[in-house]
């Protein structure tokens, strides 16, 4: 018997450490978890695979005590448990590493790790002892973290290790990792997989949530596939293939099949030279970026989130100051020009967070559709609004883009995410813009909505617009783009054609380990 922190743990074997039986959870009309069975064997890495919204996070939040199930039961080490808060789950040895880190930026690593723990000896914090303990743990698991560093100074990969240390410090033996590689470079991901293997070799168990098929095959012993709140299948990874898993995940053969004709390129629309800028934390985010985008092409920006893509899009759109360099839009210098100037030069912007930046949730659909144009004719004459024209315009757009809603006077806040994105698209695209800056336009959307967005963007490209496209989904970027720039640490590592480069090379570029020449826009003789 291995005794850990007062809990008796069965001898290392293949007994299930966790059994979740017929777990059901409803949020209003939506059935997030529908009678889910999950069995995690001790000392294994159990994958939880599914698309966005399949119910994976809900399930583990129930396990972690953040939610209560409507039905079903959980057995931890053979004993039935019910967690009313994370505290009780933590006490029973469950540790969760969330997708968005639960770390308090101004506090140090040590302070974050002991947050919420009752004092050991006296009523006062003994940070020195905690720091020493962390150093030991850190060394044992080769996590290399400085316990005195404040979180905000640490890169994302290291922050994730702090999260793992947090769980280790609380003597967790069941770890839940929720999409852990979404913020890591391929190299950091490999390091994470090593850590996972080490944890498991000591008899701990890991639930690994992901939507990436190759990770499942690479890291997990078993996998449970969820779709729309139900378990599709549970099987060892040795007995399946990525294609089979993908089919189970989506329910049909999914290949990102985009009807894409050859690019019809023309003159240069966007010219970027030596662009520099700072991010919100006053650190350099763009370190001299240069490229050009032509009419009729999709120019993709690939890279792990946080390497400057967001800042690049913001500088191009006018939401962030460039500290050096030049932006030419259709031959006009718009570096640091106000947003409206760029809009009148033909810029359209689809932001990554539609709820915060794309729409005004409290305003109606009609209002949102004229957000860029309400102040000039035909929507306003001498500053007086023309409600009739606005309504007509809105109705026409809603029809053309198939926006599902109760009416154009409905508040956008009540629309689904996919339809909200349609509102954004409709507004941005309907003016036949010359340059579309699309920032992760399919984020948080289901397959159907994503396809719509991608088709719309490709249609614009065929019409002759230039598209600057960023996405965290590498497959998507590679499928949609005619040329791709890979960004790492504020620089472009290379501009390549998707069909002329291997996935490995792209991965290396994303991790900063490879540079390739910057492919210029093609000379066109049309």
Site for other proteins in 336-395 (CB under 8 A): 338-340, 343, 349, 351, 356-363, 367, 371-372, 374-375, 380, 383-385
Q: Tell me how far apart the terminal alpha carbons of the chain are, to the nearest angstrom.
A: 77
Cβ proximity to other proteins: between 452 and 488 the closer is 452
Cα Rg, the chain, nearest whole Å: 25
Is 476 an interacting residue with respect to other proteins (CB under 8 A)? no
Q: Please state the closest distance from residue 233 (CB atom) to other proteins, in A.
A: 19
Stretch that binds other proteins, among 28-36, 190-198, 491-499, 503-511 (CB under 8 A): 28-36
Query: Residue with structure tokens 């249609």?
Result: 459
Residues in the chain: 526
Site for other proteins in 411-440 (CB under 8 A): 413-414, 416-418
The yes or no reply on residue 68 touching other proteins (CB under 8 A) is no
Is the Cβ of residue 21 or residue 446 nearer to other proteins in the bound state? 446
Q: By CB under 8 A, name the one of 23, 42, 58, 188 that touches other proteins.
A: 58
The single-letter DSSP state of residue 64 is T
When asked if residue 117 is in the footprint of other proteins (CB under 8 A), the reply is yes
Interface residue with other proteins among 20, 67, 300, 311 (CB under 8 A) is 67
Distance separating alpha carbons of residues 373 and 335, to the nearest angstrom: 22
Whether cis (ω within 30° of 0) applies to the bond prior to 270 is: no
Closest CA to 179 of 61, 89, 47: 47
Part in contact with other proteins (CB under 8 A); list of ranges 47-55, 238-246, 264-272, 296-304: 47-55
CB of 219 closer than 8 Å to CB of 196: yes
Closest distance of CB 513 from other proteins, Å:
29
Distance CA 62, CA 86 (A): 9
Among positions 404, 455, 463, 497, the unique one binding other proteins when judged by CB under 8 A: 404
**Alpha carbon 503 to its chain's center:** 20
Our measurement of the distance from residue 319's CA atom to the centroid of its chain's CA atoms, rounded to an integer in Å, reads: 21
H runs (alpha helix) in 141-272: 156-169, 186-201, 213-219, 242-250
**In whole angstroms, what is the distance from residue 389 CA to residue 376 CA?**
12
Residues in region 131-190 near other proteins by CB under 8 A: 178
Q: Which of 16, 47, 55, 306 binds other proteins (CB under 8 A)?
A: 55
Question: Which residues fall within 8 angstroms of residue 396, CB to CB, at 6 or more apart?
Answer: none
What DSSP state is assigned to residue 370? T
Q: Which of residues 305-324 bind other proteins (CB under 8 A)?
A: 317, 319
Residues 220-239 touching other proteins, rule: CB under 8 A, are 228-229
185 vs 368 by CB, closer to other proteins: 368
Interface with other proteins in residues 269-308 (CB under 8 A): none
Residue 279 C-beta: closest distance to other proteins, Å = 14
- Contacts with other proteins: how many residues (CB under 8 A)? 83
Which span sits near other proteins by CB under 8 A: 102-110, 198-206, 455-463, 473-481? 102-110
> What is the Cα 129 distance to its own chain's centre?
37
Task: List the Cα angle 143/287/482 in 5-degree steps.
Answer: 95
Rounded to whole angstroms, the Cα distance separating 101 from 400 reads 40
Q: Which two tokens stand for residue 198?
A: 């080490």
In angstroms, give the least distance from the CB of 94 to other proteins.
12
Q: Which stretch binds other proteins (CB under 8 A): 142-150, 261-269, 293-301, 334-342?
A: 334-342
């Amino acid at each position: 018997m291995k005794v850990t922190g007062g809990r008796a743990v069965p001898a290392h074997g293949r007994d299930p450490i966790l059994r979740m039986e017929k777990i059901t959870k409803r949020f209003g009309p939506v059935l997030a978890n529908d009678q889910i069975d999950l069995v995690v064997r001790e000392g294994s890495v159990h994958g939880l695979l599914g698309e966005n919204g399949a119910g994976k996070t809900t399930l583990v939040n129930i396990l972690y005590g953040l939610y209560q199930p409507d039905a079903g039961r959980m057995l931890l080490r053979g004993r039935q448990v019910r967690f009313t808060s994370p505290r009780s789950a933590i006490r029973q040895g469950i540790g969760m590493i969330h997708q968005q880190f639960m770390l308090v930026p101004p506090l140090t690593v040590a302070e974050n790790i002991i947050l919420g723990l009752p004092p050991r000896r006296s009523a006062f914090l003994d940070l020195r002892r905690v720091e020493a303990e962390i150093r030991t743990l850190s060394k044992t698991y080769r996590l290399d973290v400085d316990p005195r560093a404040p979180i905000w100074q640490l890169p994302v990969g290291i922050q994730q290790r702090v999260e793992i240390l947090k769980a280790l410090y609380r003597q967790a033996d069941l770890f839940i990792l929720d999409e852990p590689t979404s913020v890591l470079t391929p190299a950091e991901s490999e390091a994470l997989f090593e850590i996972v293997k080490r944890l498991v070799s000591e008899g701990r168990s890991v639930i690994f949530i992901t939507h990436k098929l190759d990770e499942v095959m690479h890291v997990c012993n078993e996998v449970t596939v969820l779709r729309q709140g139900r378990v599709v299948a549970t099987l060892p990874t040795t007995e399946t293939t990525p294609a089979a898993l993908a089919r189970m995940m989506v329910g049909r053969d999914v290949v990102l099949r985009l009807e894409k004709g050859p690019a019809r390129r023309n003159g240069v629309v966007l010219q970027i030279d030596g662009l520099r800028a700072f991010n919100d934390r006053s650190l350099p985010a763009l370190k001299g970026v240069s490229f050009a985008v032509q009419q009729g092409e999709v120019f993709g920006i690939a890279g792990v989130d946080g390497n400057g893509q967001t800042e690049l899009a913001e500088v191009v759109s006018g939401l962030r100051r460039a500290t050096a360099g030049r932006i030419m839009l259709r031959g006009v210098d718009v570096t640091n020009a106000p947003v409206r100037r760029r809009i009148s030069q033909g810029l359209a912007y689809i932001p990554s967070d539609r709820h915060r930046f794309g729409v005004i949730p409290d305003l109606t659909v009609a209002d949102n559709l004229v957000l860029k144009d309400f102040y000039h004719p035909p929507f306003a004459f001498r500053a007086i609004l023309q409600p009739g024209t606005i309504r007509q315009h809105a109705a026409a757009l809603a029809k053309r883009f198939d926006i599902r809603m109760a009416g154009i006077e409905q508040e956008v806040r009540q629309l689904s995410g996919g339809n909200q994105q349609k509102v954004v698209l409709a507004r941005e695209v309907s003016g036949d813009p010359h340059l579309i800056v699309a920032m992760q336009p399919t984020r948080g959307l289901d397959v159907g909505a994503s396809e719509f967005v991608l088709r719309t963007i490709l249609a614009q490209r065929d019409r002759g617009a230039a598209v600057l496209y960023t996405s965290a989904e590498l497959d998507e970027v590679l499928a949609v783009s005619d040329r791709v720039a890979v960004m790492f640490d504020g620089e472009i590592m290379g501009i390549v054609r998707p069909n002329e480069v291997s996935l490995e090379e792209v991965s290396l570029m994303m991790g900063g380990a490879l540079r390739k020449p910057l492919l210029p826009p093609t000379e066109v003789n049309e």
